[in-house]
Amino acid sequence: MKFIVSSTALFSHLQAISRVINSKNSLPILDCFLLELQDGTLSMTASDNETTLSTSIEVNEFDGDGRLAVSSKTLLEALKEIPEQPLSFQINPSNLEITVQYQNGKYSLMGQNADEYPQTQELGSNAVQVNIPADVLMGGVNRSIFATADDELRPVMNGIYFDITPEDITLVASDGHKLVRCKTFAAHSDEKAAFILPKKPANLLKNLLPKEQGDVQIGFDDRNASFTLENYRMVCRLIEGRYPNYNSVIPQNNPHKATIDRAAFISALRRVSVFSSQASSLIKLSLSENQMKISAQDIDFSTSAEETIICQYEGNAMSIGFKSSFLIDILNNLSAQNVVIELADPSRAGVIVPEEQEENEDILMLLMPMMLND
């Protein structure tokens, strides 16, 4: 089996799928890439047994078909230093020795038998199919992944919940302190369906989607989901279980609404939060007419800070406490120039939304308050 392929094309595709591979694997074969040559197309696959990512490129010249596994670390390190040029691969079928020839030299390494490589899970006949534009999916995943939990006792909270209806698709993530709900009207399904995507495949999508165009085809059944992009296909095991009713925790009418410049708010929070208690990171927001006072103190070290910024607010004066790092995270994951903070009272969740929603979008973020000592 022989083929000639571009070094940079091969390296970029292998690097993209290598993110699936764990540093420690239960099966030694999972440290490898699976390479398959068929009719001039080189397919490359990486897997951790729960998530499988595959891609393919056309080769320039080829002779024969075949498949083998090759150490991912060795191949990536070897290709990393080679500038753009054609690479000639020659594989001896009897002992799976691989010879890679390039402009000024050659590499020799050993392949492994591809039959030991785990099979990709196929979806059942009852699988639901949905198409969603790549940029819409990227926006939803980017904005919600930071709010997923790391909770061994409640594994359903450790992923992004896809709630699919005939009107829209909603992505939800929550760790019990903060919640993100990204609704898009740019995609929908003929039927109601839902699944929970684990954090690792969500992060892989986050890295792959910026280079993709067109639609992403999502198919899923009770156990697995597949994401078919222009250049990649990912199949992953889903988190099984029932996601909590997220709509029930979102307050419906918050009488106190403050509109504030997002960038100025983040800067003030970063300055003041330096002086908050390291244990709690508590900051206090005190609203009065058209201004917000942001304050923090650390009694143990006798440090404190306060800063007043202008906002649009009419209503009764009120104060509420939040964890500063969570509030900064939420504001960093919104893109609007101005945000609206909707509050009911100091013991109920605050809702943060963009002043103007983007087209076909409805984004809402929620943050649970912290008790104020005064």
Q: What is the CATH number of the domain that holds 324?
A: 3.10.150.10
Query: Do residues 240 and 258 both lie within one domain?
Result: no
Contact (CB, 8 A) for 323 and 277: no
Q: Whole-angstrom Cα distance, residue 110 to residue 117?
A: 16
Element (H, E) at 15: helix 7-18
Question: What percent of the chain has a predicted confidence (pLDDT) above 90?
Answer: 70
Q: Is 302 part of a structural domain of the chain?
A: yes
Q: Is 186 part of a structural domain of the chain?
A: yes
Record the pTM: 0.90
- pLDDT band of 292, cuts 50, 70, 90: very high
The residue segments making up the domain with residue 58 are 2-116
pLDDT for 374 equals: 63
How many angstroms from the chain centroid is the CA of residue 153?
A: 22
Using one digit for the tens of pLDDT, what is the confidence trace for 61-82?
A: 888 888 899 999 999 998 998 9
Mean pLDDT of 245-252: 90
| Mean of all residue pLDDT scores within the chain | 92
Query: Do residues 9 and 30 both lie within one domain?
Result: yes
| Res. 345: pLDDT tops 70 | yes
pLDDT for 189 equals: 87
* Look-up of token digits 């899923």: 220
* Structural domains of the chain, count: 3
Query: Do residues 82 and 146 both lie within one domain?
Result: no
Q: Is 374 part of a structural domain of the chain?
A: no
pLDDT for 153 equals: 87
Query: Do residues 164 and 272 both lie within one domain?
Result: no
Query: Do residues 363 and 254 both lie within one domain?
Result: yes
Using one digit for the tens of pLDDT, what is the confidence trace for 197-238?
A: 999 999 999 999 998 888 999 999 999 999 999 989 999 999
Using one digit for the tens of pLDDT, what is the confidence trace for 268-289?
A: 999 999 999 988 999 999 999 9
Query: How many Cβ atoms sit within 10 Å of the Cβ of residue 56?
Result: 17
Query: Do residues 154 and 80 both lie within one domain?
Result: no
* Look-up of token digits 């087209």: 359
Q: Whole-angstrom Cα distance, residue 74 to residue 78?
A: 6
Query: Do residues 239 and 264 both lie within one domain?
Result: no
Using one digit for the tens of pLDDT, what is the confidence trace for 298-343?
A: 988 899 999 999 999 988 899 999 999 999 999 999 999 999 999 9
pLDDT for 97 equals: 92
Query: Do residues 67 and 103 both lie within one domain?
Result: yes
- pLDDT band of 259, cuts 50, 70, 90: very high
Mean pLDDT of 29-36: 91
Mean pLDDT of 94-123: 88
Using one digit for the tens of pLDDT, what is the confidence trace for 49-59?
A: 899 999 999 99
Query: Do residues 241 and 254 both lie within one domain?
Result: no
pLDDT for 243 equals: 93
Question: From residue 373, how far is each of 9, 314, 321, 326, 368 by CA, in Å?
Answer: 59, 25, 9, 19, 16
341, two tokens: 């903070």
pLDDT for 65 equals: 87
Mean pLDDT of 167-192: 93
pLDDT for 25 equals: 84
pLDDT for 370 equals: 92
3-state secondary structure of 314: coil
Query: Of 56, 87, 116, which marks where a domain is finished?
Result: 116
Query: Of 232, 248, 264, which marks where a domain is finished?
Result: 248
Query: Do residues 158 and 103 both lie within one domain?
Result: no
Q: Is 373 part of a structural domain of the chain?
A: no
Query: Of 248, 274, 289, which marks where a domain is finished?
Result: 248
Question: From residue 222, how far is each of 203, 236, 270, 347 by CA, in Å?
Answer: 21, 12, 43, 38
